[in-house]
Amino acid sequence: MIRTEELLLNVGPQHPSTHGVFRIVVKLDGEVITEATPVMGYLHRGTEKLAENLNYTQIIPYTDRMDYVSAMTNNYVLVHTVEKMMGLEVPLRAEFLRLIVMELQRVASHLVWWGTYLLDIGAMSPFLYAFRDREMIINLFNELCGARLTYNYMRVGGVKWDAPPGWMDKVEAFIPYMEKKLEEYDKLVSGNEIFLARIRGVGRYDADTAISYGLSGANLRCTGVKWDLRKEEPYSLYDRFEFDVPVGESGDCYDRYRIRLEEIRQSLRILKQAVAQFPKDGETMGKVPRAIRPPAGEAYVRIESPRGEIGCHIVSKGKAEPYRLKFRRPSFVNLGILPKLLVGETMTNLITILGGIDIVVGEVDC
């Protein structure tokens, strides 16, 4: 009788495929995982606690650094919560600008995911292809608000910058460019038999499991649940545009992959409509009191970030600083299913599944 010994392996915090400083302690029997425990907190910066001593405008740059791959949506969830508490009107032009940057950001975020996921699977080139096209969006943002990653673009009541001359034309030109590049992506990767064999049927769960673990975003939609906050609880101007919510059937990594690529297409569709309807002129900043002091009370706002449902809960005592501020971070919640999902999988599938969930460690640890 052969007796085998369990191998305890620390995957991370320094590991090429944990997408930052994140650790999973796995017990291995050969290459098969018998137990997995995610360990997080290596990138904890105490954003929520810091926010209690900052006024609302000062918190905006901190939200940039949560989900640093998708800073615009973080900006939006904070300023929108404050606007909701104060009952502020946002000018149409500003709202359009917000929506356009959020959708551009969704494309950029999914591109980062696509590139790094393929890197996890072992293909090098897609990463560089994705970053070539993400660079176009980053340059657009750089022109708009002067930063490439941490934008600090939105303000309570509007946006900091109006679009510079010619900017909207560049966005318009980007849409067909990106559509063409998506075809190239499909040719390069989506049909590759090795790739399909790697992700089909891997990390499968059903809709009930997904809902009971509180998953959101593509991780939920891959099980066939049609839940997109842009459709379910339209915020911003999403009720003005036509777009589809792609859903999967089997709830495996392949469906998550397909959904994210399709979401890029849908975002481009929204962008096309938004650019066409963009108001010729108007204010970019609404009527905002000098001191931003939301009335005492609380508010919760949730929106659809590229990673899922990002929520912001503010408890105000009527001061310039929040009494308590809490972010519901989709990356953190989505990670919860990992210990269940990994049992019985191989070391290789660990990477495939972890990458498929699409986490940003800055957001996990906040």
Partner 1 sequence: MGAWLNESMTWGNAFVLFIWAVVFLLIVLGFVTYAIYYERKVIGWMQLRVGPNRVGPLGLLQTVADILKLLIKEDTIPRKADRLLFILAPALAFVPAFAVLAVIPYTEKLYFADLNVGLLYYVALSGITTLGMVLGGWASNNKYALLGGMRSAAQMISYEVPLVISVVGVVLLSGSLNLRTIVAAQGDWFWQWNFLPQIIGFVVFYIAAVSELNRTPFDLPEAESELVAGYHVEYSGFRFAFFMLAEYVYVYAIAALTTVLFLGGWHPPAPFLDFVPGLVWFLLKFVAVVFSFFWIRATFPRVRIDQLMGLGWKVLLPVALLNVFLTALYLELFVK
Partner 2 sequence: MLSGMLQGLGVTLKSMTSPKVTTSYPDEPIHMPDRFRGIQHFIPELCIVCNQCARICPTDCITLTGKPNPDPEKRGKVIDTFDINFEICILCDLCTEVCPTEAIVMTNHFELATYSRDDLYKDAEWLTDNNTLVRKDNNNIGAPAKGGAK
The binding site for partner 1 (CB under 8 A) comprises 7, 9, 15-17, 31, 118-125, 128-129, 132, 188-189, 192, 194-195, 197-198, 346-351
Find which of partner 1, partner 2, none residue 191 binds, CB within 5 to 8 Å per kind. Answer: partner 2
* Residue 30 touching partner 2 (CB under 8 A): no
* Residue 161 touching partner 2 (CB under 8 A): yes
Find which of partner 2, partner 1, none residue 197 binds, CB within 5 to 8 Å per kind. Answer: partner 1
The amino acid sitting at 339 is P
Query: Least distance (Å) from partner 2 to the CB of residue 135?
Result: 7
Find which of partner 2, partner 1, none residue 152 binds, CB within 5 to 8 Å per kind. Answer: partner 2
Choices 71-79, 191-199, 271-279, 328-336; region in contact with partner 2 by CB under 8 A: 191-199
* Residue 188 touching partner 2 (CB under 8 A): yes
Query: Least distance (Å) from partner 2 to the CB of residue 102?
Result: 19
Query: Least distance (Å) from partner 1 to the CB of residue 124?
Result: 7
Using CB under 8 A, which of 17, 34, 152, 273 touches partner 2? Answer: 152
* Residue 325 touching partner 2 (CB under 8 A): no
* Residue 145 touching partner 2 (CB under 8 A): yes
* Residue 321 touching partner 2 (CB under 8 A): no
Find which of partner 1, partner 2, none residue 234 binds, CB within 5 to 8 Å per kind. Answer: none
* Residue 187 touching partner 2 (CB under 8 A): yes
Which pairing describes strands 297-305 and 154-155: parallel, antiparallel, or unpaired? Answer: unpaired
Nearer to partner 1, 31 or 249 (CB): 31
Crossing angle for the helix pair 71-86 and 92-121, to the nearest 10 degrees:
140
Find which of partner 1, partner 2, none residue 119 binds, CB within 5 to 8 Å per kind. Answer: partner 1
Which chain residues interact with partner 2 by CB under 8 A? Answer: 54, 57-62, 64-65, 125, 129, 132, 135, 142-147, 150, 152, 155, 157-158, 160-161, 164, 184, 187-196, 283, 285-288, 290
